[in-house]
Structure 1
Amino acid sequence: MNKDYPVPAGYLERETEVRKSRFIARVAPVNSRDEVKDWLKQAHSDHPDAGHICWAFQIGRPGSATEAAMNDDGEPSGTAGKPILNVIQHKDMGDVLVMVIRYFGGIKLGAGGLVRAYAGATESVLSAVERVVQQPMIDAHVSLSFKDEQPLRHWCEVHGASVESVEYGASVHALVLVPEDLMAEFESFCDAHKLGLTLT
């Protein structure tokens, strides 16, 4: 699946301390609730003694996410999950999960203090994580002869396209993902090599 909006480039962890409480913020790219569950399971496994593991995620385009959710995990309502989600939305990033693992330091922070601490921990990790934007891709179905397969693969390697699948029969059928802005060049390549091209 291709996204023309920023998503986290990978997993990252950052730790902050507020009045002796430790806040360990983790960010991870996610595409489904199942992936969110897997990351949360991992966090609970890594930090079985943590007082709270609060989180929020949004999947899809920032501003019109297909799915979003948050959890205070025992903190007073609205003091953890919501501030995490607010920072995610403010950062204009999609397909992102942030978990904040808290170890209580013995000093109560109060509702306002918790909101600031969870938002600050989220801000620290989202500011540090690299963002990537993938361009929109087009599915191209190509019919070709066996001798044309290597030139096709070479074109894809050079131009950031990818051969997703190949079926061999009397002729060869390939499914190719082509960056949208290179479609005209790909069509010229297919014409030059007399390849059959169908777009979906």
Structure 2
Amino acid sequence: MQTIEQIYTAEVEEKKSTFLAYLCPMNAFESLHVKLKNDHPKAAHIVWAKRFYNEFRQVVENNSDDGEPKGTSGPPVLNVMRGVELIEAGLLIVRYFGGIKLGTGGLVRAYGSSAKEVIAHAKLIPFLFKEILTCKTDYPLVPRFEHYTTTQNITVVKREFESDGVVWEIEVSEEEKEQFLLFAHTFERDGFKRL
């Protein structure tokens, strides 16, 4: 499986219709969809597809033809995403009608090629399951933990400063979790604890 970390765009023209494709991480999908509706009020359609994991680590897929003939736009976009095993991502395509009808086969090709074009410009990275790990350190240990998270590229989701120490929420893969717990284990007597 592969994913992305930022938004990518591409433009395709087919028989005077313009297709603006946007590929985004799943956490940006809803806000980007709203923004595109506001930025392109004269667009004929905003077609989309998305693939993500639910809390049970099952792949969830959804798509919308947004008024195009059923099955001619959303499913082809979703199929392109499946083909490159793209997950935790959404793909939206804004269409400006150019006056020439494309027909069902033409729509399938145009939306599919728009999806392929934006994915070709994207930097795809391997997808890793991550989880949030919560722990607490006494204040003397804070510099060591800051150094570790910085040098190991561990994402600190949240830090809360309390009277007796700092509560950390970090996002880690399975491998990062094992390494972090090995590192942190040596500080248990000095004021480290998992929450």
Distance in 1, Cα, partners of 2:104 & 2:21: 19
Distance 2:44 2:178 in 1: 56
Inter-partner Cα distance in structure 1 for 2:75 and 2:93: 12
**Aligned residue number for residue 53 of structure 1:** 46
C-alpha contact 1:51 1:103 (8 A) present in aligned 2:
yes
Residue 184 of structure 1: how far off its partner (Å): 4.8
1:120 and 1:176, CA in 2 relative to 1: closer, same or farther beyond 3 A? same
Q: Does 1:8 pair with 2:1?
A: no
- Find the counterpart in structure 2 of residue 181 from structure 1: 175
Identity %: 28
Change (3 A) 1:105 1:188: closer
SS in 2 for 1:50: coil
Aligned residue pairs, count:
189
Change (3 A) 1:110 1:8: same
Q: What letter matches 1:80 in structure 2?
A: S
1:146 aligns with 2:139: yes
* CA RMSD of superposed structures (Å): 2.6
Q: What is residue 38 of structure 1 aligned with on the other side?
A: 31
Q: SS where residue 152 of structure 1 aligns?
A: helix
Q: In structure 1, list runs of 5 or more residues that go unmatched.
A: none
Contact 2:3 / 2:87 at 8 angstroms: preserved in 1? yes
Change (3 A) 1:81 1:173: same
Q: Conserved in 2, the CA contact under 8 Å of 1:55 and 1:99?
A: yes
Residue equivalent to 1:99: 92
**Alignment partner for residue 24 of structure 2, among 7, 22, 28?**
28
TM-score by length of 2: 0.81
Assess if the C-alpha contact under 8 Å between 2:45 and 2:96 holds in 1.
Answer: yes
How far apart, in 2, do the equivalents of 1:72 and 1:143 lie? 48
- TM-score in terms of structure 1 length: 0.80
1:17 aligns with 2:13: yes
CA distance in 1, matches of 2:46, 2:155: 39
On the 8 A contact 1:20/1:107 being kept in 2, the answer is yes
Indicate the larger mover: 180-189 or 13-22: 180-189
- Distance, in Å, in 1 between the alignment partners of 2:63 and 2:183 is 48
